[in-house]
Amino acid sequence: WAAGEEEEHGQQQRDLGAWQYWHPRAHQEVPKLDQPPVHTFTSVLCWCAADRVRRIFAHRDNRAKAEIWGQRAEEMSAVILQRAWSPDRKAFTSFWGGAVVGPSLLRLAEVGIIKANDPRFASTVECFEADAPKVALSLSVENAPQVGGLLQAGEDAWLDSVRSYCMSSNTMLWYAEALRAVGRIDDAKKLFNSITACANDCGLLSQSIDMRTRKLWGNIPHCSTLLSILRVGTRLSMSWRDL
């Protein structure tokens, strides 16, 4: 918000914090060796800030500032979606110019930078399925499902097809939400039911789950996991109007 008000005081600060640092690099064909790679979802959060400021000004009927911030958000979106896209993987990657598709990219449709029915998002979800073992706490994989879905072998087979390694509960819930968003409702429900089946006697989940033994690891109860359960569970549930 403060960045949005600086222009009124004669400042020339036209970009949001981290975005101001990254934006000049958007036009570099080859990043400099002394520069860290740009994390895609962090840059997306910069876009979120601009887009939400636009919404605030629009809600307050300040059309001039809503237009300014709308233009900034569009510029940011164009750069991010171009630089984070991998033609080789046919997916958005965790870092600009990278190759790995990490779990944060499952949130792209949720925050609104891309529509859930965009083929690029569906392709990104599929590539995440192929890369999922890389984001686990242990990479000891045995007969893990290949590209096409962690749920391909059935509701519980994907939990039983790996040696012991842990996956973040939130990552799996983000995955379930992404499956729902791209229209794979049955897969989303199977995954959600498998996750909630791991809950303890009080119905609580921890920060991570052992994909082989279903043992809970990490902080418990885990607040963000509980919030994700409420969000995803509500969206997967039948509407009261349909009962």
Tens-digit pLDDT profile for residues 102-111: 899 999 999 9
pLDDT digits (tens, 9 = 90+) for 39-67: 999 999 999 999 999 999 999 999 999 99
Kind and range of the H or E element at 172? Answer: helix 169-181
Task: Determine what percent of the chain falls in helix, strand and coil, rounding each to the nearest 5.
Answer: 55, 5, 40
pTM, whole model, 2 decimals? 0.74
**Residue 153 pLDDT exceeds 60:** no
What DSSP designation does 4 have? H
- The rounded distance, in Å, linking the Cα atoms of 82 and 76 is 10
Burial class for 49, CB neighbours closer than 10 Å (0-12, 13-18, 19+): buried
Mean of pLDDT values over 197-223: 77
Amino acid in the structure at residue 9: H
Q: What angle do CA 213, 129, 156 make, to 5 degrees?
A: 35
Helices (H), 60-151: 63-83, 108-111, 119-131
Full strand arrangement of the beta sheet holding 208-210: 166-168, 208-210, 216-217
Task: Give the chain's mean pLDDT.
Answer: 77
